Structure 1
Amino acid sequence: MVPTDAQTSAGIQRQSATGAFVARNAKAVVSVFGGVINILAVSAALIQIAPPNVAGVGAALLAVMETLRTVNVWLVRNEPALEAKAVELAGVSGSGAA
């Protein structure tokens, strides 16, 4: 079965939408992987050097910081899309109330 032009066009649009999503979120994904590696490395060092209660607190604080860093990367990267959606929702709710 040979795909029609409409099927080919739909497939290309789907790929470009997926590609745009991946490109928009790639930095956040890289940040997650970097954060996990950082947490593992620092936790291993803390376990060897620091007392257990301090090592646990240090690892937990680092995990929180890495999570916040990843969220920040995602927010900065998706700010235009989030702003457009907020304007759209504000327009929809504003026109519904009037």
Structure 2
Amino acid sequence: MAPTDAQDSAVNEKRSSTSIFVARNAKAVVSLLGGVINILAVSAALIQFAPADVAGVGAVIVAVLEALRTANVWIIRNEPVLEAEAAELAGAWGAGAA
């Protein structure tokens, strides 16, 4: 049974939305993976060369910084989407208050 034009269109639309999602979030995923590698490398170095109490604190600080960096990349890449959602919510909230 051959697919119809409507089925082809639905499949292409789904692929397109998936591609847009992946493209929009690819840099954040790369940032996250780089952050994990950085955390592992810094933690290994700290455990090897720093006193135990400093190594744990240093690893936590690096992990927090990497999480903030990844969040920053995600926000920057999704800024237009976030602005549109905020405007939509503000409009709905303003219409509900009126």
CA distance in 1: counterparts of 2:54 and 2:96, whole angstroms: 55
Number of residues paired by the alignment?
A: 98
The equivalent residue for 1:44 is 44
CA displacement at 1:2 relative to structure 2: 1.2
Residue by residue over 1:7-37, the C-alpha shift from the partner in whole angstroms, topping out at 9 and shown as x without a partner, is 0000000000000000000000000000000
TM-score for the superposition, normalised by structure 2: 0.97
TM-score, scaled to structure 1: 0.97
Q: Counterpart of 1:2?
A: 2
Q: Shift of the alpha carbon at 1:97?
A: 2.0
Deviation at 1:69, TM superposition (A): 0.3
Give 5+ residue unaligned stretches, structure 1.
none
Q: What's 1:56 paired with? A: 56
Q: Considering only aligned residues, what root-mean-square deviation do their CA atoms show, in Å?
A: 0.7
Q: What is residue 25 of structure 2 aligned with on the other side?
A: 25
Letter paired with 2:32: V
Identity over aligned pairs, percent: 70
| Counterpart in the other structure of 2:70 | 70
Q: Kindly report structure 1 stretches of 4+ aligned residues shifted beyond 2 Å.
A: none
Give the deviation of 1:96 after TM superposition.
2.2
Q: Kindly provide the amino acid, as one letter, of the partner of residue 16 in structure 1.
A: S
